[in-house]
Structure 1
Amino acid sequence: MKKKYTVMNPSGIHARPALKIVEAAVRHSSDSYLVKDGASFFAKSLVNMISIGAKFGDVIEVVAEGEDSQAAVEAIGAVLTAEH
């Protein structure tokens, strides 16, 4: 399962949204990744989420593999599209 989302937080993915992405990812058994500019980042790693360097307006592809992959993609996508 994969879907593209646009980062809507004016500050991009900094510490707080990165933590929310990790929290959304670990609630699901699927392995989840964020893909930006061809690079893949493991969504259950806070260091990876901070290092993605996504800014407002960037398009991020969320990819998940496993039983609850659709729920994982949607939960992470909700964080990416949140405006704060």
Structure 2
Amino acid sequence: MALSREFTVSNRRGIHARVAAKIVEVVEKFSSDVTLRKGDLQANARSILDILSLACGCGTRITVEAKGPDEVMVIAALEELFKKKFGEV
């Protein structure tokens, strides 16, 4: 069974290339499959282009779904990244 958590993009510029790369960097440390969902759209969290295709601006709500042996840890790591606004303001 997969674990999911909803997050709000809170940095001013939304999810752009640098932010997408940070998401991929975090996810690649884990073995679980991770998917980002925005409405009916979904993206593989290991693909910068997939993530960018979601077009997530500031205030966008996305669901992160992880399935695998370290799903709890990858969700926690992504939660920390979202809380810190991806290191941006």
TM-score (norm 1): 0.92
Cα distance in structure 1, aligned partners of 2:10 and 2:42: 20
| Unmatched runs of 5 consecutive residues or more in structure 2 | none
Number of aligned residue pairs: give it: 84
Using the TM superposition, give the Cα deviation of residue 40 of structure 1 relative to its aligned residue in structure 2, in angstroms. Answer: 1.3
Asked which structure has the greater CA Rg, the reply is 2
CA RMSD of aligned residues (A): 1.1
Structure 1 residue aligned with 2:57: 55
Q: 2:48 aligns with which of 46, 49, 53?
A: 46
Alignment-mate amino acid for residue 12 of structure 1: G
- 1:1-84 matches, within 5 Å, as 1-83=3-85, 84=88
Cα distance in structure 1, aligned partners of 2:50 and 2:33: 14
| Unmatched runs of 5 consecutive residues or more in structure 1 | none
Alignment-mate amino acid for residue 40 of structure 1: Q
Structure 1 outlier segments of 4+, above 6 Å: none
Could you tell me the percent identity over the aligned residues? 33
